[in-house]
Amino acid sequence: MLNLLHVYYEPLPSGQTTHILSLARRLDSKLYRQTVVLPDWLKTSIAAFQQTGVEVVPLPLRKFWWPPHAVAALAGLVRRGKADLVHVHSQEAGLAARVIVRLAGARRVLYTPQTIDIRQVRWQRLYMWAECALAQITDVIVSVNEADRQRLIGWGVPAGKVVTVPNGIDLEACVASVDGLAWRRQLGVEAQGPLVMQVGRLSPQKDPLAFVEGAAQVMRTHPEAQFVLVGEGSLAQELAERIGVLGLERKVRLAGWQPQAAHAMAAAQVVTLTSRWEGTPFSLLEAMANARPVVATKVNGCPEIVEEGVTGFLTPPGDWAAWAGRVSDLLGDPQRAMAMGRLGRERVETEFSWPKMVARLQALYLGLAETAPGRGAEG
């Protein structure tokens, strides 16, 4: 049996949790003994991992600083034989955890950053340098899209260390077990009229202000439309104030965090993503699994998910007018929107399903375990 240690950081439950939870549930428990290290304040995530039966180790991890006892606890897991392989997920965890586990004696280390852009653009060059340096102590870097793989190689990361494994989802788990009307009631939106939805953190990366500004423009041609942002984050107050200034209180709803956000997409006619940067975003995959057409920004891995004009549309980041135009196009042609949604579902089934992603990761895990110094995959 292979001891597999996952380490990740995120400020709120989102794509990282979705991804690692799926691994906890889907990897064969007869082949893998999994342990998950995550921030101790993610209470709902901790409970979700505990339900899968894997070992869960909550630690006081912070974005820029890990206290000494958290460092010691992570190193102790490696020294006690909890990790034939360590899979580090997320940029923040990647900067600290790879050093800690290597110093503690980890045999093999994988790293999935999910995205390779950062909010503070002025620090991007320093971050690039850090990734190149840390690549020297990383066996495999898993890029979730090909565009970012090519960028990493361009930065100077050895090409042989970077592989592309797109995110995958559990198609049936994404589909709502209740109808859209029930979800509209839960989200606090009216039963009638087309609904445009976005699921994601209310953070600068996701640029939800572009969603609000675009909604105001869509309202000029589709006054019957409604809009909802599902998620929490640092921009919640600023968004509420801007919605008030634009007089959209009755039309744009901040629904907060929802425990089954993918299911909420059943209530929408169009699902969007206004992000400034991304990896391979789960919200787009979940929308397409629900047969919803999407309007997303043309960043990172989004063009590898969305077929322009076939399963949805891509617009430049920050260009809320272009976003509004494409949303209006879909609202004005419901038959085309439904056809795009059906094709999106087919694309996710073919290219972004769980079996395909798990098979690729398992091949990586087993290959690394077989060549690891010291003990191999037996445990």
The domain made up of 2-168+353-371 has a fold known as Rossmann fold (3.40.50)
Domain 171-351 in the same topology as domain 2-168+353-371: yes
Instruction: State the average pLDDT for the chain.
Output: 93
Q: What is the pLDDT of residue 44?
A: 92
Which tokens is 214 given? 């675009």
- How far CA 60 is from CA of 34, 41, 69, 142, 215, in Å, comes to 20, 8, 9, 26, 39
pLDDT classification of 281: cutoffs 50, 70, 90? very high
Give per-residue pLDDT as tens, 1-41. 899 999 999 988 878 898 999 899 989 889 999 999 999 99
Q: What is the pLDDT of residue 379?
A: 42
Q: 């020297």: which residue's tokens?
A: 136
Q: Can you give the chain as a three-state secondary structure string?
A: CEEEEEEECCCCCCHHHHHHHHHHHHCCCCCEEEEEEEECCCHHHHHHHHHHCCEEEEECCCCCCCCHHHHHHHHHHHHCCCCCEEEEECHHHHHHHHHHHHHCCCCEEEEECCCCCCCCHHHHHHHHHHHHHHHHHCCEEEECCHHHHHHHHHHCCCHHHEEECCCCECHHHHCCCCCHHHHHHHHCCCCCCCEEEEECCCCCCCCHHHHHHHHHHHHHHCCCCEEEEECCCCCHHHHHHHHHHCCCCCCEEEEECCCCHHHHHHHCCEEEECCCCCCCCHHHHHHHHCCCCEEEECCCCHHHHCCECCCEEEECCCCHHHHHHHHHHHHHCHHHHHHHHHHHHHHHHHHCEHHHHHHHHHHHHHHHHHHCCCCCCCC
Give per-residue pLDDT as tens, 43-102. 999 999 999 999 999 999 988 789 999 999 999 999 998 789 999 999 999 999 999 999
Mean per-residue pLDDT, 266-270: 95
Mean per-residue pLDDT, 260-284: 94
Q: Is the pLDDT of residue 378 over 50?
A: no
What does pTM read for this prediction?
0.88
187-196 b/e with 16+ CB inside 10 Å = b?
bebeeeebbb
Mean per-residue pLDDT, 138-160: 97
Q: What is the pLDDT of residue 374?
A: 65
Query: What whole-number distance in Å separates Cα of residue 288 and Cα of residue 269?
Result: 12
Q: Is the pLDDT of residue 106 over 90?
A: yes
Q: Which residues contact 90 (CB under 8 A, 6 or more apart)?
A: 8, 9, 10, 16, 112, 113, 114
Q: What is the pLDDT of residue 180?
A: 84
Which tokens is 243 given? 């919605």
Give per-residue pLDDT as tens, 302-327. 999 999 999 999 999 999 999 999 99
Q: What is the pLDDT of residue 139?
A: 97
Listed by start position, the domains of the chain span 2-168+353-371, 171-351
Question: What single-letter amino acid sits at 297?
Answer: T
Q: Could you give the percent of the chain with pLDDT greater than 70?
A: 98
pLDDT classification of 176: cutoffs 50, 70, 90? low
- Which is more confidently placed, 273 or 13? 273
Q: Is the pLDDT of residue 377 over 80?
A: no
Q: What is the pLDDT of residue 14?
A: 79
The domain made up of 171-351 has a fold known as Rossmann fold (3.40.50)
